Structure 1
Amino acid sequence: MTSSGQGDQNYDVVVVGNGALGQSLALTLARRGHRVAMVGRPNRPWAASAAAGAMLGCFGEITESLVASEYGRLKLNLDVHAARMWPSWAAQLAEESGGEDVRTAEGTVVILNTIGVPGIDDVNYAAIQAELRRHDEPFSDVDPADLEWLDPDPGARPLKAFHIPNEHAVNAAALLDQLHVAFVRAGGTVLPELATRVDYAHGRARGVVLESGSLVRGEHVVLAAGVRSQDLLATVPDVAATVPPLVSGYGVSALVRTGDGTAPGSVIRTPNRAFACGLHVVPRGQGEVYVGATNIISTDPVETAVIRDLDFLLDCAGAQVRRNLHNSGLHRVQVGNRPVALDGFPLLGEAGLSGLWMMTGTYRDGLHLSPLLAGEMARRILGEEPEFELDAFRPVRAPIQAATREEIVEGAVVHQLATGYECDWKVPINWPSLIEAQLRPAYLKLADDIDPTFTPPPELLDAARLQPTLVKMLRDYYAASRVSA
């Protein structure tokens, strides 16, 4: 169900992007009677939400480093409030679209197994529980032997586990379909093309130019196209120089039809580890599961899964969650590109031109945050009183650095070693300490070579070792931030 928008090309708001964030904002504005155009190809190339496991897991995603900084705690506060919005948000979507409940999992089980390293898995496992207690969220320890669907290789057996009853998951594809139908029924216009340029004059955004060459005018323009928002922002060079550039957190996931026709009732996941979100298996209906996900920083979005990454993912799932997955059918391989700002934090708010807004850079939790950010960005666009603190994440800002250089380097070292253990490396017993001794000065030198003061997050620092393009992006960004300051 698509409105072509061939007539009226003047709108109150033009939302560029049709993933979870863009559609949620467009729908929120259309519900309130505003003329809204949503721009984006129907197949959503490069999108993160189209390939997401869609775990509504604000607590399951917690890491020790997240809650150690003011900015991380602010982001967690948004996640907690978003989680509370999901029941009513999903119910209203189902009613407006004529669809069914998109929930696929009841609760989440977090396992601590023998594959991870104490400096990451143990401390993140404890950090999740500490925040659950702090927010009075229920959870209960469980004996891994009592988890019927869990059947890992004995060498990867879980040491302990706990259940979070209120952290569910949804079917991302069904959610995106419901958002689309509800938006059109609310009177919104879908323009199934890519936007190629922001149109602006005299310090104000006026609309966007589509790949067909047509101009779509709007009082407000919102860049919510994930990592591809960077291409559009680059067409406004003076503004782009003041905003942290976006790169991709490329990830591979798989839909698997289980060989025995079973699926768990809940999400099964590890804590976040090794520069990535934790290994997770999410039920997607009888006999089908979602297996995710990898995370590799790339300066350009990735369209096709790399065999190495898929092989690693499926091996991890079979060894750490359920051995019988190796006898299952690979139904679909999915590729997503998480939008990652160079300082690691979201880009939310007006962006250097009157009427130009950004709603991206949310990394791993854009879909989870979509109900909250849709309402909050709509309030800001319409000039209403905000309800949540987003100003720390405004696009035009100095680089955010949530830890010291030494702490970031140490994080990069530990995560790099953890990657080796998760890949089941076979090295002499004394080699990890030798590798660690080499990594630390190498990361420090790289950080010094990039900038004397600013240091990117650990996963970007690590990725810069092998990506000269990323090194240049970081150097240019830090230099530009000093000029704009």
Structure 2
Amino acid sequence: MSLGLTLARRGLRVAVVGRADRPHAASAAAGAMNGCFGEVTPHLLRSEHGRLKLAMDFRATALWDGWEEGLLQESDEVALRTAKGTVVILNTVGVPEIDTEGFKAIRTALDEYKEPYEDIDPADVPWIHPAPTHRPLQAMFIPGEHAVDAPALLRALSAALVRNGGTIVDDLVAEVLLDGDRATGVRLTSGEVLSAGHVVLATGAATTKLLGCLPEELRNKIPAVVAGRGVALMVRTAAGTMPPSVIRTPNRAFACGLHVVPRQDGVIYLGATNEVESQVGTTAAIGELNLLLSGASQMHDDLVNGWVERILVGNRPVPLDGFPLLGRAGVDGLWLMTGTYRDGLHQSPLLAAEMAARILGEQADAELDVFTPVRPPIEAMTRDECLEMAVRHTLGSGYEHEWRLPDDWPPMIEKHFRSAFGRSLEQVDPEFVPPPEMFIFADDYIHAALRTYYEAHRGASGR
């Protein structure tokens, strides 16, 4: 929608295809934090590609005021932002290797970018009132990181696109059409054909099946996109109160940490889980709901008296190597703009401008060329780091679930995880290093997709 609007504003003829109800989309279920520094982790800062992703988030943050202003002028929405700033808390639920180090990494990145923030007394954080066993140890306030009302944003984008001459087609693409080495349009599930000089797949977790139009040798060199299924809750608080800001923990257990985002009229967004799966999902597992409901006491012990108004399920687009797919998809006229995992909504103004420049043959940021879809696997950590991260985050999820074990059990469990995950890593590939989520959560389909992708690049990479 953002790219379509950007191109329509430039006077191009644009059609955006997709079902209006967005059954599998991540954005429709997103807490929509304008998260830049709040998403920082130690591993992100140690990786060249991770630091580039942070730089993209930082650039996107600077665009949001103008982006919001334009959308409000071109739609019937009166506001898109729902939170003023972000409070990051470090509480007693997590583990030092994840939560404490994550909290330090956020501060390190803020200092490096000279971004304003303030250390605050956790007792002074508005609204927060956790259970006594979950009280925060530290807290910081980041005034420049807000949140967006995702449904309002999607309505504004739709209205602005139409008012700028764009067309919205309430259907799904069944097939991308090629004529030789050039994309010529798409065939819809209704059978209708739309012809176009450029086709952009911004299709999230559904992307890979639409790449069947490409020759197999080329298709195998593009990392497949799988689903990071996430579950969140819309909760009406008992007293009708909301925090003025986002309140969140550092990232945990391969997810974006526990967070509360104010929406409106005493309703808060409580999120979110993350399970990497080969197929998109539309339902929530009981264990995921239990995790969110038990986690609520980390934020406010009175949430148990609130009401769950809606269960949200979305599917984040996760490429096999964990990094975005931005640019030409190996044939003329076919582009990918997806694979952004948890950053797509926040980065949308930036990515729309960058992709529009590429499509129109204008100057674009060459640094982002590393995310071209046809590429060797991006490896953001060593095998030892990958294994250690898999073990630590899996153990950390146990503490987040408030497990109660004999004191001598966690070391035995850690030894078992290290052995089992090590074998799984070797079975996936003895040389390439996937993101930890891809071999500890993943099913046989994802493991097979990884092997296919690695084999397509083994000779070219010198391995």
TM-score range, shorter chain: over 0.9
Q: Choose 94-103 or 75-84, whichever is displaced more.
A: 94-103
Establish whether residue 310 from structure 1 lines up as the match of residue 289 from structure 2.
yes
Establish whether residue 32 from structure 1 lines up as the match of residue 15 from structure 2.
no
Q: Corresponding residue for 1:149?
A: 127
Shift of 1:275: 1.4
Q: Which amino acid aligns with 1:428?
A: P
Q: Which amino acid aligns with 2:450?
A: L
- The one-character-per-residue Cα deviations of 1:269-327 (angstroms, maximum 9, x if unpaired) are 0000111111000000131100110000010000112222112112112x210011111
Q: 1:109 aligns with which of 87, 98, 118?
A: 87
Q: Corresponding residue for 2:409?
A: 431
Equivalents in 1 of 2:267, 2:298: separation in Å? 18
- Contact 2:47–2:380 (CA<8 Å) still a contact in 1? yes
Equivalents in 2 of 1:408, 1:296: separation in Å? 18
- Contact 2:235–2:269 (CA<8 Å) still a contact in 1? yes
- Number of residue pairs aligned between Structure 1 and Structure 2: 460
Q: Give TM-score, length-normalised by structure 2.
A: 0.98
- Contact 1:346–1:363 (CA<8 Å) still a contact in 2? yes
Q: Corresponding residue for 1:12?
A: none
Q: Corresponding residue for 1:252?
A: 231
5 Å-filtered alignment, 1:353-368, equals 353-368=331-346
Shift of 1:388: 5.7
Q: Corresponding residue for 2:448?
A: 472
Q: Corresponding residue for 1:208?
A: 186
5 Å-filtered alignment, 1:153-232, equals 153-232=131-210
Q: Secondary structure at the match of 2:367?
A: coil
Q: 1:293 aligns with which of 269, 272, 280?
A: 272
- Contact 1:454–1:478 (CA<8 Å) still a contact in 2? yes
- Contact 2:232–2:273 (CA<8 Å) still a contact in 1? yes
- Contact 1:269–1:279 (CA<8 Å) still a contact in 2? yes
- The one-character-per-residue Cα deviations of 1:144-164 (angstroms, maximum 9, x if unpaired) are 111231111111111010100
Establish whether residue 394 from structure 1 lines up as the match of residue 393 from structure 2.
no
Equivalents in 1 of 2:194, 2:302: separation in Å? 52
Q: Corresponding residue for 1:382?
A: 360
Equivalents in 2 of 1:274, 1:156: separation in Å? 18
Equivalents in 2 of 1:82, 1:296: separation in Å? 26
Equivalents in 2 of 1:127, 1:263: separation in Å? 28
Structure 2 segments unaligned to the other structure (5+ residues) = none
Establish whether residue 461 from structure 1 lines up as the match of residue 436 from structure 2.
no
- Contact 2:94–2:400 (CA<8 Å) still a contact in 1? yes
RMSD: 1.1
Establish whether residue 240 from structure 1 lines up as the match of residue 219 from structure 2.
yes
Equivalents in 2 of 1:398, 1:148: separation in Å? 47
- The one-character-per-residue Cα deviations of 1:164-219 (angstroms, maximum 9, x if unpaired) are 00100010000000000000000001111000111002111111110011111110
5 Å-filtered alignment, 1:83-162, equals 83-162=61-140
Shift of 1:484: 6.9
Equivalents in 1 of 2:379, 2:212: separation in Å? 23
Q: Corresponding residue for 2:429?
A: 451
Equivalents in 1 of 2:2, 2:285: separation in Å? 31
- The one-character-per-residue Cα deviations of 1:322-349 (angstroms, maximum 9, x if unpaired) are 0111111111111000000000000000
Deviating above 3 A after TM superposition, structure 1's stretches of 4 or more consecutive aligned residues are none
Equivalents in 1 of 2:212, 2:257: separation in Å? 33
- Contact 1:376–1:388 (CA<8 Å) still a contact in 2? no
Q: Give TM-score, length-normalised by structure 1.
A: 0.93
Q: 1:55 aligns with which of 9, 33, 36?
A: 33
Q: Corresponding residue for 1:482?
A: 458
Q: Secondary structure at the match of 2:364?
A: coil
Residue 166 and residue 388 in structure 1: after superposition, are their counterparts in 2 closer, same or farther (change >3 A)? farther
Shift of 1:442: 1.6
Shift of 1:236: 2.1
- Contact 2:129–2:300 (CA<8 Å) still a contact in 1? yes
5 Å-filtered alignment, 1:327-342, equals 327-342=305-320
Equivalents in 2 of 1:114, 1:340: separation in Å? 30
